[in-house]
Amino acid sequence: MKKLLTATAATALLAGTAMADDVKLGVLFGFTGPIESLAPAMGSGAELAMAEVTESGKLLDGSTVTGTRADTGCIDNGLATSNGERMIADGVAGIIGGDCSGVTGAILQNVAIPNGMVMISPSATSPGLSTMEDNGLFFRTAPSDAREGQVMADILNDRGIGSIALTYTNNDYGKGLADAIQSSFEASGGEVTIVAAHEDGKADYSAEVGALASAGGDILVVAGYLDQGGLGIIQSALDSGAFDTFGLPGGMIGDSLPANVGPDLNGSFGQIAGSGGEGAEKYFAMAEAAGFDGSSPYSPEAYDAAALFMLAMQAAGSTAPAEYGAKIMDVANAPGEKIYPGELAKGLELLAAGQEIDYVGASGVELIGPGESAGSYREIEVTDGENKTVNFR
């Protein structure tokens, strides 16, 4: 008697066979919402890797790869989940996303796990994702905020900051990052005068800023979103004269913040996941030629997420998530020949020949523990209205 296929097995079978000629990868980012200014370059980064592989003709039996975009709203679990389910129905072989941490967890629990689908996020950074039960389906090319908290504490200390007021967007991302910053800064001898949540989408943040100002601090650290509440907090703080310098963690780094705030943001500083070196420079040049800014936050990580999918498929000889998922850590890490942006065809050829690769990519990929980035950061300072990289950590 033949066994009936489970839904998960049927999905894997379809992905491994029917999609062999045209592999679909979902690109599930917040094209609207609190980080909407970052999402286009993230999407373009992922699609650049797909175009590179398609043009090479080296994936499996000459398969092409196309991306299908959908919106998470960054903080809209219902929208993110429904769009993830639609991607499954459309026959994607993997999901590049989510972007913000809360929606990423929702997609993982409600879409990826029930369907046996692999996800690689380029930007979800909540420490809670490190311990979430994921059945080996979730990876991220961005480091955990536990690491960012340590980096921010180092930057604050190096700049002689003795005390901070700290506000965070009231969700999984904001709370996890605020906890990491507070614990790391206090462990190094710094003082946190207040830790207060703020909601996104408000027209007036004067009450929140008033409480922060009353507590005092050398600077105000804003663990929020650059196109939403974080921007409102900074504008209100400047308008009232409560603070004139701001600490800017990852969610606050992007070209739109200095553009919207103006010269008063000069001198503020922070950090964003990213690396320098050969891989980053190659990627920036490729992105420029393709007509977008590859240095935009999480764009390199999105290219790398897409690349890891395709390289793992080649290593497994299959586009079935149940088969290639186990190969992601293998292609991402040593041993093997190092592979940089623009060299995906070379990586595919080596894997087809049964050789090992160590994918370095645009962001210095090294996956540790439960399949997340070991983490390097660009230290940013706002100078003459622009985010300038002043150091790597």
Question: What's the domain range around 186?
Answer: 145-271+377-392
Cα–Cα separations (whole angstroms), residue 230 to 34, 123, 165, 246, 258: 9, 18, 14, 11, 12
Q: Are residues 257 and 340 in the same domain?
A: no
- Say yes or no: 138 and 152 in one domain: no
pLDDT of residue 72: 98
| pLDDT higher than threshold 80 for residue 7 | no
- Asked whether residue 47 falls in the same domain as residue 192, the answer is no
For the chain, the domain total comes to 2
What's the chain's average pLDDT?
A: 94
Confidence bin at 378 (pLDDT 50/70/90) = very high
One domain, residues 259 and 311: no
pLDDT at position 194 is 98
Residues 208 and 293 in one domain: no
Once rounded to an integer, what is the mean pLDDT over residues 167-196?
A: 97
Q: Burial, 176: exposed, middle or buried (Cβ in 10 Å; 0-12, 13-18, 19+)?
A: buried
Give the whole-angstrom CA distance, residue 274 versus residue 195: 27
User: Is the model's pLDDT at 216 over the cut of 50?
Assistant: yes
pTM: predicted TM-score of the whole model, two decimal places:
0.92
Q: Residues 283, 223: one domain?
A: no
Average the pLDDT over 169-196 and give the result: 97
Asked if the model's pLDDT at residue 16 lies above 50, the reply is no
Q: Are residues 309 and 165 in the same domain?
A: no
Q: pLDDT per residue over 295-308, tens digit each? A: 999 999 999 999 99
Asked whether 280 and 274 are in contact (CB, 8 A), the reply is: yes
Would the pLDDT of 153 be above 80? yes
pLDDT computed for residue 15 by the predictor: 44
CATH number of domain containing 26 = 3.40.50.2300
User: In this predicted model, what pLDDT tens digit does every residue of 23-79 receive, in sequence order?
Assistant: 999 999 999 999 999 999 999 999 999 999 999 999 998 999 999 999 999 999 999
Nearest to 217 by CA among 272, 150, 156, 171: 156
User: For residue 42, what pLDDT is reported?
Assistant: 98
Residues 310 and 351 in one domain: yes
Partnered with residue 379 across adjacent β-strands are 271, 391
Position 168 scores a pLDDT of: 98
Looking at residue 375, its pLDDT comes to 85
* pLDDT interval class at 11 (50, 70, 90): very low
86-106: per-residue pLDDT in tens? Answer: 999 999 999 999 999 999 999
